[in-house]
């Protein structure tokens, strides 16, 4: 009997299995493409011949496949759900809250425990003290698996009994990251066009990190409490700055899709009468 099974050995699943091995756990692994297990087997993992054998090998199975469709393809293969009875499945593949709740229903129907997680980290960060993984599902099952899961992520955070909560938080964070990644790419084009170092731009953003942490907390509280009327920075000000990015793109002859999109949202909020309010009041036109 091994202590933990890892199903899915892509970039992330391999990092999870490697972290368990580093922590001294007995690990069973399975992946559709067996060759990806070679290094892990050399490091002490046991490769199971089938997903059902992998599940049967340990009291808990961690799944980290491409998505929920791949997860269902694996779990609905011969004997896998039956092998899960009395065990715990921790789904760490990314999905929607509905997919998480639906899979929780499938797994609990065969008398297995289910936890759903969202990994907010890159594979090289797995096992780190500050690494963040959100988990949700029944509290007693979380408590039983918490020591194991904390070996993957020192920042492991429990979000409550709703199986969809971790996927929902992941989606909220991903929304932020999407805007950030586009913003950095456009900022890099500005730097390139103006002869600035793009690596220097990256350093400038890193130096801003504490202020951005403050802004994140501030916007969360302002939006949750609808406290838009005491602004340090108004929609008018931010909207004017972003409109200037469109003119700047024209001056520099660079792509303007991102500033145009951003400026149009801010303009709609200003036209709706929120210009004198906090910049977080942008949320009002999305509600
Ligand atoms: P990879 O593309 O590296 O690996 C995908 C895995 O899914 C492989 O094990 C692949 O098997 C398997 N797979 C895909 N389709 C099927 C199928 N139909 N049947 C069986 N197995 C299948 O992805 P990652 O490891 O990077 O990502 C895995 C999960 O982790 C995703 O949900 C991702 O969102 C999440 N994640 C990843 C992060 C990252 O930085 N990489 C960060 C945060 C979350 P095979 O090897 O045979 O192709």
The pLDDT tens digits for 192-251 are 999 999 999 999 999 999 999 999 999 999 999 999 999 989 999 999 999 999 999 999
Q: Taking Cα atoms as reference points, which of 212, 227, 210, 214 lies closest to residue 283? A: 227
* Number of residues written out for the chain: 287
Contacts with 229 (C-beta within 8 Å, 6 or more apart), sequence order: 277, 278
At 263, is the pLDDT very low, low, confident or very high (cuts 50, 70, 90)?
very high
Ligand 1 atom at minimal distance to the Cα of residue 12: 25
Q: What is the pLDDT of residue 87?
A: 98
Ligand 1 atom at minimal distance to the Cα of residue 67: 32
Task: Give the closest residue (by CA) to ligand 1 atom 2.
Answer: 10
Q: Taking Cα atoms as reference points, which of 248, 275, 131 lies closest to residue 189? A: 248
Enter the tokens of residue 252.
């520099």
Task: Kindly state the average pLDDT of the residues 150-177.
Answer: 97
Task: Kindly state the average pLDDT of the residues 24-49.
Answer: 98
How far apart are alpha carbons 95 and 100 in whole angstroms?
7
Task: Kindly state the average pLDDT of the residues 121-126.
Answer: 97
Q: What is the pLDDT of residue 1?
A: 86
Q: Taking Cα atoms as reference points, which of 209, 117, 213, 114 lies closest to residue 168? A: 117
At 73, is the pLDDT very low, low, confident or very high (cuts 50, 70, 90)?
very high
CB atoms within 10 A of CB 286: 8
> Is 119 close to ligand 1, i.e. is its CB under 6 Å away?
yes
> Is 33 close to ligand 1, i.e. is its CB under 6 Å away?
yes
Task: Kindly state the average pLDDT of the residues 62-86.
Answer: 96
> Is 67 close to ligand 1, i.e. is its CB under 6 Å away?
yes
**d(CA 74, ligand 1 centre) in Å:** 12
Which residue do the tokens 């759903």 mark?
A: 116
**78, pLDDT greater than 90:** no
Enter the tokens of residue 88.
């715990």
Query: Within the chain, what is the greatest distance between any pair of CA atoms?
Result: 66
Task: Kindly state the average pLDDT of the residues 37-41.
Answer: 98
Q: What is the pLDDT of residue 208?
A: 97
Report yes or no: 160 and 136 within 8 Å, Cβ to Cβ.
yes
The pTM for the full model equals: 0.93
**173, pLDDT greater than 90:** yes
Q: What is the pLDDT of residue 285?
A: 97
- Tell me what percent of the residues of the chain surpass a pLDDT of 90: 98
Enter the tokens of residue 8.
């899915």
Ligand 1 atom at minimal distance to the Cα of residue 32: 47
Task: Give the closest residue (by CA) to ligand 1 atom 22.
Answer: 70
Task: Give the closest residue (by CA) to ligand 1 atom 18.
Answer: 70
**257, pLDDT greater than 90:** yes
Enter the tokens of residue 15.
């990092």
**277, pLDDT greater than 90:** yes
Task: Give the closest residue (by CA) to ligand 1 atom 40.
Answer: 122
**d(CA 7, ligand 1 centre) in Å:** 10
Ligand 1 atom at minimal distance to the Cα of residue 95: 32
Contacts with 278 (C-beta within 8 Å, 6 or more apart), sequence order: 222, 227, 228, 229, 230, 231, 232, 233, 234, 235
> Is 10 close to ligand 1, i.e. is its CB under 6 Å away?
yes
Q: pLDDT averaged over the chain?
A: 97
> Is 123 close to ligand 1, i.e. is its CB under 6 Å away?
yes
> Is 32 close to ligand 1, i.e. is its CB under 6 Å away?
yes
How far apart are alpha carbons 75 and 248 in whole angstroms?
52
Task: Kindly state the average pLDDT of the residues 132-137.
Answer: 98
């Amino acid at each position: 009997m091994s202590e933990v099974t890892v199903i899915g050995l892509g970039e992330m699943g391999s990092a999870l299995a490697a972290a368990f091995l580093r922590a001294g756990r007995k690990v069973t692994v399975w992946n559709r493409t067996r060759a990806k297990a070679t290094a892990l087997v050399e490091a002490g993992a046991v490769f199971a011949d089938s997903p059902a054998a992998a599940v049967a090998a340990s009291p808990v199975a961690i799944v980290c496949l491409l998505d929920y469709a791949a997860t269902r393809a694996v779990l609905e293969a011969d004997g896998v759900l039956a092998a899960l009875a009395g065990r715990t499945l921790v789904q760490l593949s990314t999905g929607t809250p509905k997919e998480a709740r639906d899979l929780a229903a499938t797994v609990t129907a065969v008398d297995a425990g289910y936890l759903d997680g969202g990994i907010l980290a890159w594979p090289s960060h797995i096992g780190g003290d500050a690494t963040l993984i959100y988990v949700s599902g029944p509290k007693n099952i979380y408590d039983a698996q918490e020591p194991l899961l904390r070996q993957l992520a020192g920042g492991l955070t429990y979000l409550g009994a709703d199986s969809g909560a971790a996927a929902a938080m992941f989606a909220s964070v991903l929304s932020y990251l999407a805007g950030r990644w586009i913003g950095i790419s456009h900022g890099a084009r500005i730097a390139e066009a103006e002869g600035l170092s793009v690596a220097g731009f990256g350093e400038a953003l890193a130096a801003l990190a504490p202020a951005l942490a403050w802004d994140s907390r501030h916007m969360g509280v302002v939006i949750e409490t609808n406290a838009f009327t005491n602004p340090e920075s108004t929609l008018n000000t931010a909207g004017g700055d972003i409109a200037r990015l469109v003119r700047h793109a024209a001056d520099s002859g660079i792509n303007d899709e991102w500033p145009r999109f951003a400026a149009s949202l801010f303009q709609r909020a200003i036209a709706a009468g929120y210009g004198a309010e906090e910049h977080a009041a942008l949320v009002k036109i999305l509600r």
